[in-house]
Amino acid sequence: MNLAGVYPVVPTPFDGSGAIDPEDIERLVGFLDARGVDGLVALGALGEGHKLTWEERGDVLRRFRASVPDRLGLVVGVRAPASDPAIALARQAQELGADALLVGPPTIQNDRAIAGYYRRVADAVSIPIIVHDFPSETRITLTAELLAEMLRTIERVSIVKLEDPPTGMKMERVWELAGREVEIFGAYGGLFALEELERGAAGIMTGFAYPELLVELYRRHRAGDLDAAARLFYDIVPLIRFEFQPGIGVHLRKEVLVRRGVFKTATVRHPGAVADATTVAQLFRMVDDLRSKGYELAP
């Protein structure tokens, strides 16, 4: 599977009681499709997958698979502290229709153990595996040397979602060791999306509640209009930065989706931080500023 383009990492919608909201899943997929994305990532770091039961996880994936059209890719996040539960999650995702898996590392800082974990998961499925390199979230460091080794030696491990700044320099090191044919997605909230695309990233795979802005950035860059891409990126970086705040980022993105008519509530499951009213108002002040500059950010 050749993944490229813009793949938003999506939040899981809950109703006011904290139950999964199936209508909002369907509405979310339609919203993203209408904004030109190439696929989406369900139950990634933004999706609160670790707060779902096994049965709920299956329900969420069935609903996404039923809603996502064939022209869009469905990537499913998988992460567990050890190989056996990761294999179970990976197999569940494949059986329920995932096109690829975004697999985070185990909770052990040992290169041999990490490589063995990815090899076992890869052997258990028949779909592509994207290595999730996000140490600020996983608390595990994946060196460029380890990433290159796994990309060279483990079948189905062929893509990296790289969120370990300085991202551009690490991308170059991985390509130096593993070859330029390796696909690396820029991510990390989109904070370095332009610079990552300039270096050769396959696309942008991150959470952002205004995905049409990332789609336009990607299209301008692919068309070779680098000046226009830069102007767009420099305009939207403040909003990207603010929405990506650690702890409250999930809630902020849900607040935006409520404002845009996609979600009914911005509920996050406990324990989950909730932004205060001042923070939310500051976010939408940035949105209003972009609108005043001519950006069409309609619901």
Q: Tens digits of per-residue pLDDT, 70-83?
A: 999 999 999 999 99
CATH number, domain at 226?
3.20.20.70
Assigned domain for 86 exists:
yes
What's the structural domain count of the chain? 1
Tell me if 278 is assigned to some domain. Answer: no
SS (H, E, C) 151-171: HHHCCCEEEEEECCCCHHHHH
Domain of 144 in residue numbering reads as 5-244
Average pLDDT over residues 54-59: 97
Question: Does 110 reside within a domain?
Answer: yes
Quick: pLDDT tens for 163-222: 999 999 999 999 999 999 999 999 999 999 999 999 999 999 999 999 999 999 999 999
In a domain, residue 284? The reply is: no
Is residue 16 one of the residues assigned to a domain?
yes
User: Given this model, what pLDDT does residue 239 score?
Assistant: 98
Residue 167 lies in a domain: yes
The verdict on residue 29 lying in a domain is: yes
Query: Omega of the bond prior to 166 within 30 degrees of 0, cis?
Result: yes
Question: How far, in Å, CA of 254 to CA of 208, rounded?
Answer: 10
Decide if 299 is inside a domain: no
pTM, full prediction: 0.96
pLDDT in tens, 222-250: 999 999 999 999 999 999 999 999 999 99
User: Residue 299 above 80 pLDDT?
Assistant: no
